Structure 1
Amino acid sequence: MKIYKTLLSLLITCGVISSGVMMSASAADSGIYNDITYSSESKEYEEFKVPDQISKVGNSSASEAIAQDENVSASAAMLETPYNVFDIYDAHQKYVKLHSGDMSMIYKKAEGIDVSYAQGKIDWKAVKDSGIDFAIIRAGFGNANKYPNQVDTWFKYNIEEAQKVGMDVGIYWYSYALDVEAAYNEAESCYNVIKDYDIQYPVFFDIEEEKQKRLPTSQVSAIIDAFCSRIESKGLYAGVYSFSSLLSSNVYQQVLDKYTVWVAHWDVAAPGYAHDYGMWQYNARGRVNGINTEVDLDHCYINYPYLISPETYVPDGTETDSSEQLFPVSMDKGKAKGIDVSVWQGKIDWDKVKSSGVDYAVIRAGYGDLATQTDKYFEANIEGAEKAGIDCGVYWYSYASSPADAVLEAEACYEVIKGHKFEYPVYYAVEDPSIAALSNQEITDIINAFCSTLEKKGYYVGVKSYANFLNTRIDPSVYSKYDVWVAHYGVSKPAFNSHFNMWQFTNEGKIDGIKGYVNCNYAYLDFPSIMKKAHINGF
């Protein structure tokens, strides 16, 4: 019997396998590659051109609040590290803010829209009558104190007419800030525009510009913190808006834990964001009575009107103290969080990677059918990860066009990895475009040839590819013999029709110690225990 099936049977008997391993989702990828980009989730395209902000690049604080004294420079609040003792206080304050008052009032499902000048003149009575509960209205963008024409041209009309018909409203401010000082000034601009209005929903900082997403995580985090902390110092309820990929990979969680989150992710069963959020922008092409253009549609799950003004809030009977029936099913983060790396990540500071919360790394050993095609950084990555206390697995990138080629690739892989111990599987990455020209049977035979060769040498083996390719180009019999590592980005669950134990959920991860983007993964089995107990993968 195959190693994989034997171990799986043993694990089921022992009750080790989690019953919550994810199944397929309704969203499907469109080809062998999932080209999920920021633009596919982005909130809007600005027609205005604003002056470039001056970027102050460096390690910035992600949790230090902006100085409350307006005469103190905002940039002076930046620190070298995002971690400090005040995070405990900030987290407690968020808990108090969310859980103070009557717990039976905390959660409430509401339907909303977000609008700007792009929607033109809106008939707000028709919007209200259509069943819309709230509207998040753009107040402006950039530094409107310096450039007054950057107040949204329809803001005054929208907020006043919406409130006349009894619509609850919130605010968003579109950011171009590239440093803390610019974000602080944007917060001041926003406050000056909205200060005379009663607002029932949060004031959201909209961060999604191309230049912003290229900044270091520390810088993005500090920018968000600067705006939101300044808004809250004015007595308002602050939040951050962006698309799920940026929130998941380019902001310190300590910052996101301090403010409410509005996540944008369209046309999926649930947003591809694994942490807490209060609002979800689920559609960018909605149609609502009273608006002549397409409009963004939003679900809200937190009862913001109650949290913001409990003394004036009038219950309608739809409030609840339980969120279980309101939120869509979120991402299952599994048993361990990992990355996969190759020569493309260059030199990695593995100690920083470990400190960032990474549990394991799947490292490219090489590619093709020659042992000389070892990944340039394989040995350095294995050594660095092991010294840092990070568990390791490996993958071999395939170019095989026949089973005979696949056997040569397996032998080459063995020559490179023998002598090492791996807590995670040895994966065969079958995703090169050249493979697409082969028949399904040829691809299946290639995978079986590689995996069986390495399995006979005492390795726990699996196949890795994109969800659509795994669904349509490989015979399902492979999945009963070998483990599966599925890649599908920008979704709450991979759209794979069979069992899998690892999911590559983004190719735009940002991890301390690695320059640029890196693939991030979740593992759903306790692989280290499996390898050690079965004395395989070098153990």
Structure 2
Amino acid sequence: MPKRRVVRRKGVGTTRTYHGPRGHRKPGFFVRILQHMPGWAYWVGGGAVVAVYVYFFYYFFVGPFGFRWRALYGDVSYPEGYEIHGIDISHHQGRINWDELKDNGTINHCPIRFVMIKATEGATRTDENFRDNFYQARENGFTRGAYHFYSVHTPAEQQAYHFISTVKLENGDLPPVLDVEHKPKNQTDEQFKNSVLQWLDIVEKHYQVKPIIYTYFKFKTRYLNDPVFDEYPYWIAHYYVDSLEYQGPWKFWQHTDVGRLPGIKGTVDFNIYNGSYYDLRQMTLGSQETIGEKAYRE
């Protein structure tokens, strides 16, 4: 037993007895359990932690991009139940071998029916390959369309007239397309909607047909969810899923950006049309009277 000693605090008339060093604190309940666990239990617990980590890693990082990864490595998956397939192209695809694309290009064992082609961007820029792509698409028997990439840096009116002066649509072509993916930071939501509507109104009056709106799912629900935009055909961009979350009406679905086809170097966007080939041709300028009954029945 340790020897006791008396400690007197300076200036204070009381004393305190010191009993020597204190004993160690008793370990907690969970610590005692861990101390008595057998060795195999550590392996089981560690394996469970790893399994949970792998599950959440796959759920949040691998699963949502599975379609893209499989496509990159040649194991492509396509949305089921659609037969009318097409692509959209720009200068990013470089020089296209149109003969090879026409003769051997198929998507999910179906022929390519339509080609959307980038024409303009902003108020001054024209895609460097637009004129050749636009001409070759029609010459090789594809239903063609032209789209404008909306810029946040120039007024909508100037952009609309730039598109009109560049793109000469003919009977058999799809309606003009507005590709809108960004909102100007210096505009309110209402101002932005009015700017988009201004572009659509100017272009519609010129071509006498309602333009198609292209944007991705979340952007439409955030900025273009006003009922007035439901009057325009919708081309939705929603990648790496086998079904759409969007519940409204739509005409086109861009479902991947890593498609590969003969005649095109690198990757290309794949799209499907929500309907039959007859329905697709009914969308085109001039309609049945000028294109001919046979073209609709192919």
Q: Verify same fold: TM over 0.5.
A: yes
Cross-structure match for 2:59: none
1:14-29 equivalent positions in 2, closer than 5 A = none
Q: Which residue identity does 2:142 align to in structure 1?
A: I
Distance change in 2, residues 1:485/1:517 (3 Å): same
Q: Is the helix fraction higher in 1 or 2?
A: 2
The structural deviation recorded for 1:332 is: 4.1
In 2, the alpha carbon distance for the partners of 1:451 and 1:534 equals 24
144, 147, 150: which is aligned to 1:398?
150
Cross-structure match for 2:67: 244
218, 242, 251: which is aligned to 1:492?
242
1:378-417 equivalent positions in 2, closer than 5 A = 378-400=130-152, 405-417=155-167
Distance change in 2, residues 1:490/1:419 (3 Å): closer
Q: Which residue identity does 2:282 align to in structure 1?
A: S
In 2, the alpha carbon distance for the partners of 1:479 and 1:337 equals 25
In 1, the alpha carbon distance for the partners of 2:274 and 2:92 equals 26
In 2, the alpha carbon distance for the partners of 1:497 and 1:423 equals 28
The CA deviation string for residues 297-318 of structure 1, in whole angstroms up to 9 with x for no partner, is xxxxxxxxxxxxxxxxxxxxxx
Cross-structure match for 2:282: 529
Distance change in 2, residues 1:439/1:418 (3 Å): same
Q: Does 1:519 align with 2:272?
A: no
Give RMSD over aligned pairs. Answer: 2.9
Cross-structure match for 2:219: 469
Contact 1:363 1:381 in 2 (8 A): yes
Q: Does 1:369 align with 2:123?
A: yes
Cross-structure match for 1:439: 188
Q: Which residue identity does 2:281 align to in structure 1?
A: P
In 2, the alpha carbon distance for the partners of 1:249 and 1:338 equals 19
In 1, the alpha carbon distance for the partners of 2:260 and 2:130 equals 21
Q: Does 1:418 align with 2:168?
A: yes
Distance change in 2, residues 1:453/1:411 (3 Å): same
Distance change in 2, residues 1:536/1:393 (3 Å): farther
In 2, the alpha carbon distance for the partners of 1:479 and 1:419 equals 23
In 2, the alpha carbon distance for the partners of 1:467 and 1:536 equals 35
Contact 1:443 1:474 in 2 (8 A): no
Cross-structure match for 2:295: none
Distance change in 2, residues 1:492/1:378 (3 Å): same
Question: Which secondary structure state, in structure 2, belongs to the residue aligned with residue 380 of structure 1?
Answer: helix
1:109-508 equivalent positions in 2, closer than 5 A = 243-248=66-71, 251=74, 273-274=77-78, 331-354=79-102, 355-357=104-106, 358-370=112-124, 373-400=125-152, 405-418=155-168, 420-432=170-182, 435=184, 438-457=187-206, 458-508=208-258
| Structure 1 gap ranges (5+) | 1-119, 127-241, 254-272, 275-330
The CA deviation string for residues 139-161 of structure 1, in whole angstroms up to 9 with x for no partner, is xxxxxxxxxxxxxxxxxxxxxxx
| Structure 2 gap ranges (5+) | 1-41, 49-64, 107-111, 292-298
Distance change in 2, residues 1:475/1:442 (3 Å): farther
How many residues get paired? Answer: 221
Contact 1:444 1:475 in 2 (8 A): no
The structural deviation recorded for 1:436 is: 5.5
Distance change in 2, residues 1:449/1:427 (3 Å): same
The CA deviation string for residues 58-101 of structure 1, in whole angstroms up to 9 with x for no partner, is xxxxxxxxxxxxxxxxxxxxxxxxxxxxxxxxxxxxxxxxxxxx
In 1, the alpha carbon distance for the partners of 2:138 and 2:162 equals 23
1:30-49 equivalent positions in 2, closer than 5 A = none
In 1, the alpha carbon distance for the partners of 2:259 and 2:147 equals 19
In 2, the alpha carbon distance for the partners of 1:422 and 1:374 equals 22
Q: Which residue identity does 1:244 align to in structure 2?
A: F
In 2, the alpha carbon distance for the partners of 1:342 and 1:527 equals 22
Distance change in 2, residues 1:335/1:407 (3 Å): farther
In 2, the alpha carbon distance for the partners of 1:516 and 1:472 equals 32
Question: Which secondary structure state, in structure 2, belongs to the residue aligned with residue 456 of structure 1?
Answer: helix
The structural deviation recorded for 1:455 is: 1.2
Q: Which residue identity does 1:480 align to in structure 2?
A: D
Cross-structure match for 1:278: none
In 2, the alpha carbon distance for the partners of 1:249 and 1:374 equals 30
Contact 2:71 2:258 in 1 (8 A): no
Distance change in 2, residues 1:465/1:419 (3 Å): closer
Distance change in 2, residues 1:511/1:461 (3 Å): same
In 2, the alpha carbon distance for the partners of 1:246 and 1:512 equals 20
Q: Which has the larger radius of gyration?
A: 2
In 2, the alpha carbon distance for the partners of 1:447 and 1:534 equals 30
The structural deviation recorded for 1:472 is: 0.8
Question: Which secondary structure state, in structure 2, belongs to the residue aligned with residue 485 of structure 1?
Answer: strand
Question: Which secondary structure state, in structure 1, belongs to the residue aligned with residue 283 of structure 2?
Answer: helix
TM-score (norm 1): 0.38
In 1, the alpha carbon distance for the partners of 2:126 and 2:258 equals 25
The structural deviation recorded for 1:247 is: 3.9
Distance change in 2, residues 1:386/1:435 (3 Å): same
Q: Which residue identity does 2:283 align to in structure 1?
A: I
Contact 2:258 2:269 in 1 (8 A): yes
Q: Which residue identity does 1:347 align to in structure 2?
A: R
Contact 1:425 1:462 in 2 (8 A): yes
TM-score (norm 2): 0.65
